[in-house]
Amino acid sequence: MNIQTHAPVLSAEEAAALIPHDAMIGFSGFTSAGAAKAVPRALAQRAKALHAAQTPFKLKVLAGASTGKSVDSALAEANAISSRVGYQSSRELRKQINAEEVDFIDIHLSHLPQMVQSGSLGKLDFAVIEATEYSPDGRVYLSTSIGASPTYLECADKVIIEINRYHSPRLSEMTDILSVKRPPHRDLIPIFNPLSKAGRQYASVDPQKVVGIVYTDEPDEVPPFAAPDKTSELISNHVVEFLLWKMSTGQIPKEFLPIQSGVGNIGNAVMNGLGHHKDIPPFTMFTEVLQDSIVDLMESGKVQGASTCALTILPENLERIYNNMDFFAPRVVLRPQDISNNPTLARQLGVIAINTALEVDIYGNVNSTHVCGTDMMNGIGGSGDFERNGYLSIFVCPSIAKGGKISTIVPMCTHIDSSEHSVDAIITEQGIAYIRNLSPKKRAEVIIENCVHPMYKDFMRDYLASCKKGHIRHNLSRCFELHQNLLEQGAMLPGLRETA
């Protein structure tokens, strides 16, 4: 497609040369879907060359959520990031964050656009945005994610657009970009079911700010998920069991409710389980990321439609969507993250939120982010947007990790992202702990008996018995004993370090 534009067509290297040291940049992408590719790679190469010449070059990086390897990983490998805001999943960047070489600000993803608009994060110098089309009057047709790109286009001083010919221009048929007014002029959001549309098919930018167009032709850098293992399948079965029980009591209506599911292997397994159980009725999704398992479920009719922020789908499955857009376009809505993750909409639509925990304590507090309370894993992402506001909030995790050296159920979380007040159920491969309407002691007993791995149950029972009585029981001399053992001896229960 030969798209006419008043902005100059540049190589990725020419575009990267426009961006100075210490600039703040908003990159498109929500996961690797729709992430900028050519320009950040060129920025990484420029950083390496400048560093070799003893010239400083680092950037303040914003993105909608995590990104593809061409953004976070490439820039981190080039030592080109001074600060990063929002969720990330890059191994290279994670190491630098935990070594205190990169300042990382972890926030709820629904909050990011408002923080950029208000200027609380500082002045946004550049936006680098992937699109399928750009028109001279300032219409930007985004690719496989919306994320915070509309906000970056609005707020950045200068804009570089990567037009990726790989993606279908018909993605605009899925897109619904609704601009939320700033306080105190904010209106009600007129979305009354997951497939409601209230916005436009394109984002807008002042054409005078567009300093370059870079053409690309490459798929998103979506990594493959592992096939569901036995643990994930057992967790999925328990999620189905729990939701069927809720339906049988009338607490979930017979027509069911929209599902939100977190990103990852367990999330894929849970959706697969829900989609293939005969007693779960056809359902819709109101979620932040659409993964591969949903393609089959849509084609089968089990998933009737989905509102999302990103199509985080392997290229072969994305091709299936592009080759059958007459079917998929009416069934998928792509939204900005301040709408896809909007707490009001999660409450209004009655979303069932299913998210993954890093660790859970015996009272139902959830740590989604930090290993042993200190080392960042990825970030809170969108789980906090949904767990506090969903109709039901479920957290899932395997009961053990590292062959049993780690129990994911602990006496006290070393960091809390979701408090006991926002969690309805904890589900591991061992079973289900429905903890809503239980006192703290009863929550602890149910979690220990139903969710803890057998090799850790005696420790947990003994811990609870050793605690001083109170509304919440804790033994402050022992509450982090498992974590201390892990740090000092390599296993939470020292006797396991030789056998696990």
Q: Which residues are catalytic?
A: 288
CA 249, CA 60: separation in Å to the nearest integer?
51
Enter the tokens of residue 240: 């189905």
In sequence order, the β-bridge partners of residue 103 are: 83
Residue with tokens 């990567």: 162
Looking at residue 377, its amino acid is: M
CA 483, CA 500: separation in Å to the nearest integer?
16
Instruction: Tell whether omega for the bond before 184 is within 30 degrees of 0, i.e. cis.
Output: yes
Cα-based torsion angle of the residue sequence 163, 166, 172, 177 in order, rounded to the nearest 10 degrees: -60
Please name which of 82, 151, 83 lies closest in space to residue 117, comparing C-alpha atoms.
151
String of DSSP letters for 143-204: -SB-BTHHHHHHH-SEEEEEEETTS-GGGGGTB-B-PPPPTTSPPPP---STT---SBSSEE
Enter the tokens of residue 367: 């740590």
Q: How does DSSP classify residue 433?
A: E
The CA-atom distances, in angstroms, between 274 and each of 296, 299, 325 are 12, 15, 25
